Structure 1
Amino acid sequence: MITGPAGVGKSTLCWEMGAMLAEAGIAHVAIESDELDRVFPKPGAEELTPLAPGARDVSQLNLAALWGTYRALGHSRLIMSGVMLHVGFDKQWMLAAIPQARITVVRLRAGEESLIERLDRRETGAGRDAQIERSLRQARRLADEATGDFIVVETDGRSPAELAGEVLGKAGWLPVS
């Protein structure tokens, strides 16, 4: 699980990790958690219960469906990214979707100046300032949170390839280079 504030480089890291794993011939799946519940109107418990009693979120159902297909194809590694402000809760719905999963949490960090610079390149239009403020709030909140057994990776001044090599090495998916 690759997590951190918006603009920290989660998607870029996942793409680089995927490229490195593919180059090494290691089967894997990459999923951005935002795509698991990008639906309107968002279904509530009453719509989900007939599909899966106890399901709390459509993300859980969609992850289970996708993983079922990928697992049947022989995959055993999943890279998933998202802001994940409530890691304990997020791990619960992921484990409900993939009961046998061993989840490694990777928290990406960047300084506020770096976040603003990255978001400034990415965000345009009326929502730009609101997204920057939201990301800075996320970064401040996450900086104060205990990281326990997380892999914490500082991203400032580092290339995606360097970050991917570190994460894949610490996760035990590729030798540390």
Structure 2
Amino acid sequence: MATDSTATEILLITGPAGVGKSTLSWALGDALAEARIRHAAVESDELDRVFPKPDTGQLDALSPGARDISQINLAALWASYRALGHTRLIMSGVMLHVDFDQRWILAAIPDAAITVVRLRASDETLVARLDRREVGAGREAQIERSLRQARRMASEAGGGLIEVATDGRTPQDLAREILDATGWAAAAG
């Protein structure tokens, strides 16, 4: 957790597809807004939703050394939010390679302290949630992909991150737990 009042604090919400990352991020944002705590929120999927993907030459021309358009876009977004006085960011995404993802996030926001929150749910819960949101021919492939993501994340050591089960819990309860665990809720007092 950042101790300098001007440093950036990031809650990096991760987990397999369908676990509730976006819904939790919205609940966190609502709770912070209610407490009058300044923050911004970014879904990492939206940082690189472009076709065709830029090649390394194009990326290097925009930002020397950048390896991904997500890094460049996050830096641009954060520059605007930071100019408005924000020091807290909620960011969500699958993030299968947390160490790698933290590196590109820190390249975009060098003064950041990142707290990783990994969400998990039972296979039954993931399938039920994906059943509600996925339609069409890609449904089965998405369910299998999400279950693979969940297994991979469960097999990794959880050192230095907060793990939260989402089964049977409301997004508001999860948000309160995470804000208490990270100390963000105390910032309003």
> Same fold by TM (over 0.5)?
yes
* Separation of aligned partners in 2, 1:149 and 1:129: 33
139, 145, 156: which one pairs with 2:167?
Answer: 156
Structure 2: unaligned runs, 5 residues or longer = 1-11
Structure 1: unaligned runs, 5 residues or longer = none
| 1:20 equivalent in structure 2 | 31
* Separation of aligned partners in 2, 1:75 and 1:163: 23
Deviation at 1:44, TM superposition (A): 1.7
58, 65, 78: which one pairs with 2:89?
Answer: 78
Runs of 4+ with >3 A deviation? none
More strand by share: 2
Residue 118 in structure 1 maps to residue 132 in structure 2? no
Deviation at 1:50, TM superposition (A): 1.0
| 2:113 equivalent in structure 1 | 102
* Separation of aligned partners in 2, 1:31 and 1:168: 17
58, 67, 82: which one pairs with 2:69?
Answer: 58
| 2:138 equivalent in structure 1 | 127
| 2:21 equivalent in structure 1 | 10
Residue 169 in structure 1 maps to residue 180 in structure 2? yes
| 2:99 equivalent in structure 1 | 88
| 2:149 equivalent in structure 1 | 138
Deviation at 1:143, TM superposition (A): 0.3
CA RMSD in angstroms comes to 0.5
53, 64, 67: which one pairs with 1:42?
Answer: 53
* Separation of aligned partners in 1, 2:183 and 2:131: 34
Number of aligned positions between the proteins: 175
Deviation at 1:15, TM superposition (A): 0.3
* Separation of aligned partners in 2, 1:41 and 1:60: 17
